[in-house]
A and B are shown apart, each in its own frame.
Chain A
């Protein structure tokens, strides 16, 4: 058994940003555990550009964006163990991990930052009926095959789900010579970024079929066709609208799930909405000394926001290790169209600079407002031309708002029409 001050589980963008900020806040005994053979996480296979506009004010590819953090962590001498899988995590912050070099590792740590990212929802999550033949991949698996391994998973493609990875892969497969027949989206709106719809579908003439779904997959050994149908307002397929599309591949981009098996093992309270830990303004989970950031906490739209959030987790872990312990306080309640907020609670005494509260809305709202109430007092009323579930929103809670409302018992964030 060894001891560490701070262990960060995950060496993707979240873990790296957290490690760097913890170091900068004075922690020296840091260990990053990464299960893959390289740092950078999923960014390594995101070879398209568009990363870093907020953080670096320039357009980088995924690997370039990751490399900036990798270089910095290396320059600071932060210890990293690659090919290391954490098997268990106890509520007393004892970590059990394995890798081929060290064998079985048991590490007792003062603080932990959970930065395990998320995974893709598989076909089973939608319970799509039909054949279980070859040729059905999640978009992320296809992305790895094409961009890392150098193989094409198919030539004639239908994509279910218009999440960002699906949109990116529609373009990628097209550029590599495949025919992408359509991107099929269950909802009446895309869950991806607007810019990706324009740059990945519209620019290549790939149809986006909203309010449609795949109702069956056919093919004895390899996919031969999929059947799609229009859906009603309850998302049930409409009889008579079925349409068979011949293809050899179905890519699924039907949502991401924060990967919290380890969090569950150590007893961290999870949100039923995000699937990630419930955290306070310091990004501390229900277990003191255990923090979370990045896609393990809630699925982000832009990595820039992951980096910013993770820096806060690093600073908070450093503060915790100095004995500066936060224990939450006021609940932040999502209401009327706001699905959740991160953080879910806030200790007013710890809001020394504007606190970013991130959230997503449940459907598309046009010409509406985001309102923030301190108790019954509306403190913010921000005009929004459009709100969509695909884009993460944020509001900044300022220290003076807490000072002004000393008796406030809860903060409420809501979508309002006027």
Chain B
């Protein structure tokens, strides 16, 4: 029997795993996909919200404020791209101006600092791309952008470094209560016994909860679609630009991702199928049209990809965090939609604290908070580049030309703990294939390296796990 089973290797599960590794506990993360961050964590806005938006007193307000405050130190410890670029909520009328004041009041009640109301010209002075129609804005200085999948990876890698086990391609089919814990029935046919369970199953957190607790949850998948533009898009704004929030969420934003691309989206549409991440013509058109209200017409020719993510929305419209009232040792992190990414560090911290208290765990004296990312050749100066190539010639072989990713970085992405086994895994760890040609050039070269490093025949390699094989056969 292990101490803690964490279900789900998204940003919340991995944040919890890393926080749990601060204690002397045997922890195992179970993930049904083949890699971390394969669900909502890979397809979202990548924003660390300042925290003015959530209703004062809500779980969302509490965790957002705490999470946002944890980020600067966390990003430094985990070597994750993070930038406090600030945000603006823009309004177009006198009505909007009143609503912005209300948001500002929320912010103050939530304990958020660095908020300021601006008129249209004041807003345009700090963000020249704003449309002339913008009449007022709420400026939040502490809003930031972070790379969401690199953050998830970093949590996971640091957790693994501190002793947490990860099992991929391992879903949880059922949970049985035992006298001193839980027995998890796994999709691999095995069983795993754990004294405590952390449910961070994202869109499926309701199903996992309902296996154990009589207090049923229902999660609605709320789709959000995005368009991602090339780095050089002239419309790229330094700050994140929101429109007025609605009942369905924070509305369509315009932002510069942590990696420098222009990103616009999301819309919000409830869908039946929790695996439905298909983009739609209507959705993408809506997102582009709505974003243009904030910043004027967008350079649509410079779109390099579009994608959709699913929010795990609870009917209560708030996070469900903590021990289930009728299941001792079973902890939920359910309904983690926006500001989920911003809150993840705080949710992880809180869950670990609760689990440790329940299990009377001692601190882990060997905990090491530091994680080093893969050195990024594209960001180095020439002296460092020359030095690295001298040490390892594979740094001199550029595999992804759009993002200047070298063979050495790809090899390291495969060889490091929780290494990449798929094309998308390489992409999220190194950015190979994320540039303007969208992997047209490097796919074949990355497959070659994966085959060599994993000693797996090329035709078995996948984009993101079993069923997504890239090649159908060897040509005869």
A324 beta carbon closer than 8 Å to chain B = no
A317 and B77 alpha carbons, distance in the complex (Å):
52
Chain B contact residues, majority secondary structure:
mixed
B278 beta carbon closer than 8 Å to chain A = yes
Residue of A nearest to B443 (CB): A141
- Give the residues in chain B near A133, CB-CB below 8 Å: 463, 468
Contact among B275, B397, B470, B474 for A134, CB-based, below 8 A: B470
Contact among A122, A129, A152 for B440, CB-based, below 8 A: A122
Contact among B393, B396, B472 for A152, CB-based, below 8 A: B472
- Give the residues in chain A near B284, CB-CB below 8 Å: 127, 129
Residues 295-309 of B contacting A (Cβ, < 8 Å)? 300-301, 303-307
Pairwise interchain contact A125-B303, C-beta atoms closer than 8 A: yes
A131 and B469 alpha carbons, distance in the complex (Å):
15
- Give the residues in chain A near B280, CB-CB below 8 Å: 129, 216
Chain A: interface size category: 35 or more
A141 and B470 alpha carbons, distance in the complex (Å):
12
A129 and B226 alpha carbons, distance in the complex (Å):
11
Residues 69-107 of B contacting A (Cβ, < 8 Å)? none
Contact among B228, B386, B393, B475 for A124, CB-based, below 8 A: B228
Pairwise interchain contact B396-A103, C-beta atoms closer than 8 A: yes
Tally chain B residues at the interface, Cβ within 8 Å: 58
A129 and B282 alpha carbons, distance in the complex (Å):
9
Q: How far is the CB of A225 from chain B (nearest CB, A)?
A: 12
Pairwise interchain contact B467-A221, C-beta atoms closer than 8 A: yes
A102 and B401 alpha carbons, distance in the complex (Å):
19
Residue of B nearest to A218 (CB): B278
A35 and B399 alpha carbons, distance in the complex (Å):
9
A96 beta carbon closer than 8 Å to chain B = yes
B46 beta carbon closer than 8 Å to chain A = no
Residues 142-164 of A contacting B (Cβ, < 8 Å)? 144-146, 148-155
Chain A contact residues, majority secondary structure:
mixed
Of B394, B402, B440, B469, the most chain A CB neighbours within 10 A belong to B440
A63 and B279 alpha carbons, distance in the complex (Å):
40
Pairwise interchain contact B396-A101, C-beta atoms closer than 8 A: yes
- Give the residues in chain B near A120, CB-CB below 8 Å: 437, 440
B254 beta carbon closer than 8 Å to chain A = no
Given contacts A131-B278, A152-B472, contact A122 B467 (CB under 8 A): no
- Per-residue contact bits, chain A 242-269, to B (CB 8 Å; 1 contact, 0 not): 0000001100000000000100100000
Pairwise interchain contact A104-B473, C-beta atoms closer than 8 A: no
- Give the residues in chain B near A119, CB-CB below 8 Å: 437, 440-441
Q: How far is the CB of A315 from chain B (nearest CB, A)?
A: 29
- Per-residue contact bits, chain B 381-406, to A (CB 8 Å; 1 contact, 0 not): 01001100110011111100110100
Q: How far is the CB of A121 from chain B (nearest CB, A)?
A: 9
Residue of B nearest to A106 (CB): B382
Pairwise interchain contact B304-A124, C-beta atoms closer than 8 A: yes
B462 beta carbon closer than 8 Å to chain A = yes
* Listed A/B pairs (17) with beta-carbon separation below 8 Å: A85-B404, A101-B393, A104-B386, A119-B440, A122-B304, A122-B437, A122-B439, A138-B440, A149-B447, A150-B474, A154-B472, A216-B281, A218-B278, A220-B275, A221-B464, A221-B467, A264-B232
Q: A residues near B, CB below 8 A?
A: 35, 83, 85, 87, 96, 98-104, 106, 119-120, 122-125, 127, 129-135, 137-138, 140-141, 144-146, 148-155, 176, 215-218, 220-222, 237, 248-249, 261, 264
Q: B residues near A, CB below 8 A?
A: 227-228, 232, 275, 277-281, 283-284, 300-301, 303-307, 382, 385-386, 389-390, 393-398, 401-402, 404, 436-441, 443-444, 447-448, 458-459, 462-475
- A-B pairs, 6 with minimum CB distance: A221-B467, A100-B393, A122-B438, A100-B396, A85-B398, A124-B305
